[in-house]
Amino acid sequence: MDEAPLILKDFLSYMETIKGKSKSTVKEYFFDLRLFLRFIKIHKGVVKEKKVLDEIQIDDVTDELIKSITLSDLYSYMSYISRERNNSASSRARKVASIKSFFTYLTNKSKILDYNPASELESPKILKRLPRYLNIEESVHLLQAISGEHKERDYCIITLFLNCGLRLSELVNINISNIKDDVLTVIGKGGKERTIYLNSACENAVYAYLKVRPKEGVFDRNALFLSERKRRISNKTVQYIVKKYIKQSGLDPQRYSTHKLRHTAATLMYKHGNVDIRALQEILGHESISTTEIYTHVDSQQLRAAVESNPLSSISPADKSNKTD
């Protein structure tokens, strides 16, 4: 982010230190706004149109250029990322959110702008899709597929995903000191701390792993999950581990990921555990209840059962063959 102009650096610093956004979220803001400013430099004729957009530097973006941006420019950008870069509706929506946050900061906080051109920028409509998840049988097969030199660690990782609904970053950053008996404390989005109660499957998996977890030559001594190099395990390694066992269990690794295991935990808790939607929101660490509500979907069996339960379902048309004129 060293290439960012001062105006953008100030915004990113504000989002991290004042608004409490995570480093990964701040990085996404930077990537979104870097692309936007690159486009603006071409769109406004600051650089030649023939120049490769992804190679354009933005450290020379001035306040005057920012002040010249209009709502029309913003919609031109939205058209560009849709047509030229084939961004999905969800990707475009995220970029809209980044732009709106940036211009709100410039208008209300840094006072660089008198008028916010992004205030009327609309976000593309996103079609809500039901979350993809493993059923109970598939989840059991996934756990049974775990083997090899690091089977205790890998089993513990997947057990926590399937039972606790953790995000990838939350799992990777678990410290041994975060676990007290059956209580796990995790740091979620925006640095928000929450408590998760471990069930017996999780407790047993953690206990079995801690018995074989390396103790000598460990670089990150408090990290729960360690790599072969005895450092805190990385996001990429966990993703690889999950994909490997998904494939070994006979499932499609292109359809399932670490986040789909989070979906699985949430869906199974709601479907089989009679979990209240507010309790599920707390477990998953969702800021908004609307995010959690997607897990209240019903599957085809539930729909079929609902139709069959209709008191009129057993009524058949009268047999007219025995009737006479």
Return phi, psi of residue 175, to 5°: -105, 155
- Using alpha carbons, select from 300, 280, 301 the residue that is nearest to residue 291: 280
The one-letter code for the residue type at 100 is K
Which residues, 6+ apart, have CB-to-CB distance to 85 below 8 Å? none
**Residue 201: C-alpha distances to residues 157, 163, 188, 206, 283 (Å):** 12, 8, 22, 9, 17
| Alpha helices (H) in the chain, listed in sequence order | 6-17, 23-43, 63-67, 71-83, 89-108, 136-144, 151-164, 168-172, 200-212, 235-248, 258-272, 277-284, 289-292, 300-308
The one-letter code for the residue type at 88 is S
Question: Helices 258-272 and 277-284, interaxial angle, to 10°?
Answer: 160
Contact call for residues 166 and 186 (beta carbons, < 8 A) = yes
Positions marked active-site = 167, 189, 259, 262, 286, 295
User: Mapped to the 3 state alphabet, what secondary structure does 181-206 carry?
Assistant: CCEEEEECHHHCEEEEECCHHHHHHH
Rg (CA), the chain: 26
E strand or H helix at 179: strand 179-180
Question: Helices 136-144 and 151-164, interaxial angle, to 10°?
Answer: 160
* CA–CA separation, 227 and 214 (whole Å): 10
